[in-house]
Chains A and B, each alone.
Chain A
């Protein structure tokens, strides 16, 4: 990007205009007297005479203007603008709840409407666009989000906005923490075990073509079984085992709970893991292997010093796919009593409490995004031949 030519940054411009449109025309918040009743929607300009809404609309206009002349300085200013918007938004919510919630309404909840979801989405996209244009490093990008998150946290705790989602969390914060840790433990165990088994299997496949055909066949078949069906299929045999073998029962193996969930997750995780490790090891440039052998490296040295380091980025790619997939699948495992964040989703669905569904769904999304970003960054670092 030359800063001299200063063409308008269309992406940023469109994002900001879409944000403005959403802010002006869609419902921003809804007020419900209690948890079950659906709320009354309000638009941004119906709150406190519209002045606070203007405080958010103006920066968006300014950022749109900066996008029009997208020199480097303008883009940097736009970055600060977007960050300011993200930081201000929770305080607008505080203001809105002060305005809407009357003192008598102890159970009242303020729900987030379409307009604010869209704003969050659009602003985060704008942040990503700006990060790329300004060539900021990944860590710096994450660091920029820190004040934003702090501001939201402050607004929720100290500002005491009765946001329905936050209320939902407050009501079961202990459960929430247990759910997150169960979720992570299941994912970690499945990914870790599949990594070890996958590596062993991939090495065996390289030795014996028979193993390769059989394993890929079996694993591909496993991948096509719907997850719920697989949980169901594991129910009977594990219940039987748990009932017969005392030692297994002692560590908690039964037809429902963590055991079938873990086994099913492992089954699903193995295919992407094995495939990536196998392909990664196979795809290393044959000329490099040939010269490594020709120079007098032993089999072991070729594997450890050449094949493995060169395969690592693709292996990490496998870990990334597997992790993201396992985070999603673990949500379904809640149905067979394995715990995890899926519990909230299914309980919420049962009680028609959308906020509770979100309390489960949003962290799942967040975890998946974080896992994805972290592992991608790692594999970028480990790309052979130094940083690109």
Chain B
């Protein structure tokens, strides 16, 4: 659990973070969004004391961060940044094993842990262990970055626009991978981004920031339904809000069991989102889709009216 109580940070005359209070529950993904310069990165970096706060208190599991030695504190917190920050003179395996080595784990255990993490992140050990960072693609490098952050199995993960520099396809793949990881590992994650789609996709708790203050926070769906002001509304996509909301709902939540009617010709996987379903309908000019499972076997159907939230088909 991470708690911020009235935390303030000033850089000279400028107040970067202004009396900010925030609470991130254990196992929750908290996403900080906002325009650049709104203080979201500063907030993140105050948690692992890369930046010291001027006023207020930051607590981890009830203890103020200042009560820990800063080096010890950081070794307990995973940290991922946009440009990966991998050490160019170390191999992938050595990069991942950094924190365990700092913690003086025995060699064998580090080795095991590195291989375990590489498997977890989909990086074949044979192929990648001895590569150097500059031999990796952007997506591979960022996966190594995530593996390195997870190496000593920290409870808390801080991620500062980790996928910001990646192309859209790779970014989505990594977001999905992160979701799957999180479903297994249940870390307490603070994630900074300015990409609203990313924020909506990943967040358990969405925190919208502006000029060092929190404008609104809550579940993504609640923010979509009741944005506090025009700023939040425009940040959430303005007229595209409907699509953003549809992107948060799975087809499986709205589909109906297969009826007596003939199967619709166009198919959609059950774990696709409503916005994808809508897109398919628009594209094929149809009002009905057959929902299929992982093996392409029909499990239900989705009509336009159901998609829109209507009761019957």
**CB contact list, B113-142 vs A, under 8 A:** 132-135
* A64 CB, min distance to chain B CBs, angstroms: 41
A294 contacts partner chain B, Cβ-Cβ < 8 Å: yes
> Quick check: A291 and B79 within 8 Å, CB to CB?
yes
A287 contacts partner chain B, Cβ-Cβ < 8 Å: yes
- How many angstroms between the C-alpha atoms of A297 and B98 in the bound complex? 9
> Quick check: B102 and A295 within 8 Å, CB to CB?
yes
A4 contacts partner chain B, Cβ-Cβ < 8 Å: no
- How many angstroms between the C-alpha atoms of A291 and B74 in the bound complex? 10
**CB contact list, A254-294 vs B, under 8 A:** 285, 287-288, 290-294
Residues on B with C-beta less than 8 A from A293 are 50, 74
User: What is the interface size of chain A, counting residues whose CB is below 8 A from a CB of the partner?
Assistant: 19
> Quick check: A306 and B79 within 8 Å, CB to CB?
no
> Quick check: B89 and A385 within 8 Å, CB to CB?
yes
> Quick check: A292 and B102 within 8 Å, CB to CB?
no
Q: Contact flags (1/0) for A293-321 with B, using CB distance below 8 Å? A: 11111100100001001100000000000
- How many angstroms between the C-alpha atoms of A298 and B102 in the bound complex? 10
Residues on A with C-beta less than 8 A from B102 are 295-297, 301
Residue from B83, B88, B99, B158 within 8 A of A296 (CB atoms): B99
> Quick check: B89 and A295 within 8 Å, CB to CB?
no
Residues on A with C-beta less than 8 A from B99 are 295-296
Residues on A with C-beta less than 8 A from B148 are 295
- How many angstroms between the C-alpha atoms of A344 and B242 in the bound complex? 88
B75 contacts partner chain A, Cβ-Cβ < 8 Å: yes
> Quick check: A309 and B72 within 8 Å, CB to CB?
no
* A314 CB, min distance to chain B CBs, angstroms: 13
B86 contacts partner chain A, Cβ-Cβ < 8 Å: yes
A237 contacts partner chain B, Cβ-Cβ < 8 Å: no
* B76 CB, min distance to chain A CBs, angstroms: 8
* B127 CB, min distance to chain A CBs, angstroms: 16
Main secondary structure of the interface of A (DSSP, over half): helix
Q: Contact flags (1/0) for B17-52 with A, using CB distance below 8 Å? A: 000000000000000000000000000000010100
- How many angstroms between the C-alpha atoms of A325 and B244 in the bound complex? 65
> Quick check: A386 and B132 within 8 Å, CB to CB?
yes
B185 contacts partner chain A, Cβ-Cβ < 8 Å: no
Residues on A with C-beta less than 8 A from B135 are 385
- How many angstroms between the C-alpha atoms of A297 and B72 in the bound complex? 9
A50 contacts partner chain B, Cβ-Cβ < 8 Å: no
Residues on B with C-beta less than 8 A from A296 are 71-76, 99, 102
- How many angstroms between the C-alpha atoms of A84 and B246 in the bound complex? 79
- How many angstroms between the C-alpha atoms of A294 and B162 in the bound complex? 14
Residue from B73, B75, B81 within 8 A of A290 (CB atoms): B81
**CB contact list, A309-341 vs B, under 8 A:** 309-310
* A226 CB, min distance to chain B CBs, angstroms: 41
Residues on A with C-beta less than 8 A from B85 are 285, 287-288, 290-292, 294
- How many angstroms between the C-alpha atoms of A293 and B263 in the bound complex? 58
> Quick check: A306 and B87 within 8 Å, CB to CB?
yes
Residue of B nearest to A382 (CB): B89
Kindly list the 6 A-B residue pairs having the minimum CB-CB distance in the complex, ordered from nearest.
Answer: A291-B85, A296-B75, A384-B89, A296-B74, A294-B79, A385-B132
Which B residues fall within an 8 A CB radius of A? Answer: 48, 50, 71-76, 79, 81-89, 98-99, 102, 132-135, 145, 148, 158
For the complex with contacts A295-B148, A296-B73, A297-B71, 5 further pairs of A-B residues with Cβ separation under 8 Å are A288-B87, A290-B50, A291-B85, A296-B72, A297-B98
